[in-house]
Amino acid sequence: MIDYITGKVKHWESEYIVLDVHDIGYRVFTPNPYIFAKNEEAVTVYTHHHVREDAILLFGFPSRDEQKLFRKLLEVSGIGPRVALGILAGGRPESVIAAIQQENIAFLTKLPGIGKKTAQRMILDLKDKLDALPAAGTPGIVLEMDGGLDAGDDQGQEAAWREAREALAALGYTQAELDKAWHGLQSSISAEESVDSLMKRALQWLYKG
């Protein structure tokens, strides 16, 4: 099993990055390829090595915790690697964990590829198995039955954008560029949107701009 890869990002698309490791390019599918897009230094990507009859695939994440949550999601009947990847792209890991522990089906069914029956299976299979993850039980993450954050949509949006903004600034974008991106995206951002998803959308907007 390949547990992690360290190398330089040589190419990226909307669903994956290509890591150059000693002149070998590894294609790694990840929730947000754009988070690695402008990093010219070697990066470590924590991976899940998935083997099936017709393909050998690598799925990668920026942290060990996201890797662990991805593997937990794969334990649920009906959730394969692609759906699990979509869950991590569509919701913040801590919010996904909180929704499972609080049995919030309304929140879970808003995630890509998740219907009511799959959401129920996620709760049944994982509710008591996520305590080891740092995001589990984080104070202040209380999800209402409509899927929103109790702190309000605006606060959820701003908190996600602050974290995404810091990461984008570290990639070399100016404050003026980031202000324009926020202005262009603000009206379409939901409170439960993940930082990774927001970064991906912001980078797409910046590339087009």
**CATH code, 55:** 2.40.50.140
Indicate which CATH number applies to the domain containing 76.
1.10.150.20
pLDDT per position as a tens digit, 123-158: 999 998 988 776 555 544 545 444 343 444 455 567
Does residue 204 lie within any of the structural domains?
yes
Q: Which of 42, 44, 43, 47 is nearest to 30 (CA)?
A: 47
pLDDT per position as a tens digit, 21-33: 999 999 999 988 8
Does residue 143 lie within any of the structural domains?
no
The reported pTM is 0.69
Mean per-residue pLDDT of the chain: 81
Does residue 132 lie within any of the structural domains?
no
Does residue 142 lie within any of the structural domains?
no
Does residue 134 lie within any of the structural domains?
no
Domain that holds residue 186: 153-208
φ/ψ (deg, to 5) at 173: -80, 145
Could you tell me if 15 and 27 lie in one domain? yes
Q: Contact at 8 Å (CB) between 160 and 92?
A: yes
